[in-house]
Amino acid sequence: MARDLQGKKVAFLATDTYEESELKKPWQALEEAGAELELVSIKEGEITALNEQELKPGAIHPVDKLASEARADDYDALVLPGGVGNPDKLRMDPDAVEFVRAFFEAGKPVGAICHGPWTIVEADMARGRTLTSFPSIKTDIRNAGGEWVDEEVVVDGGLVTSRTPDDLPAFCAKLVEEICEGEHAAQARSVA
């Protein structure tokens, strides 16, 4: 992959029970493309993935910054990995929700996979957008004013979404492309 993201800084927002592959694969793709990466979380220290097939703890990832201290102004883009418990915990944290909303308000690219769009729903940023996710949250997206589609990867004005780990190759490629393009004026259109 070309090093298209030199000079770009990307935040990953996650907490315990994140889906390991949905953090690891985008992280690798963005790092290979030259981006500087930071893990933002709602807890200090480290976060632990959940191996959902075995229902056992997975990889451990060090936290770089708390959501309460992080500012969207310091980043060029945001990535929201899935896992069932991870976004459910994030959407209950006002600092995490505000952090997500700030990326939309600034027109910056956001990538979300699997259950990751739950935090976008909580930030009230799904309204008027077309996106995909793990099928179990399609009703939440529709109820939040978004249009849910069953596609491998969906791009809507700087927002990149995918359904499951099977979609990671397409998700990672589009994520690099959207971050390379930079800010998207259409990203802020759903901000009320």
- Respond yes or no: is residue 115 known to be catalytic: yes
Q: What are phi and psi of 180, to 5 degrees?
A: -60, -40
Question: DSSP 3-state assignment of 64?
Answer: coil
Residue 23, helix vs strand vs coil? helix
**Catalytic residue of the set 61, 114, 172, 184:** 114
DSSP-assigned states of every residue in 122-183 = HTT--TT-EE---GGGHHHHHHTTPEE---SEEEETTEEEESSGGGHHHHHHHHHHHHHH--
Instruction: List the catalytic residue out of 115, 172, 180, 184.
Output: 115
172 catalytic per annotation: no
Q: What is the DSSP letter of 65?
A: E
**Among the listed residues 133, 117, 49, 122, the one whose alpha carbon sits nearest the alpha carbon of residue 79:** 117
Residues with a catalytic annotation lie at 114-115
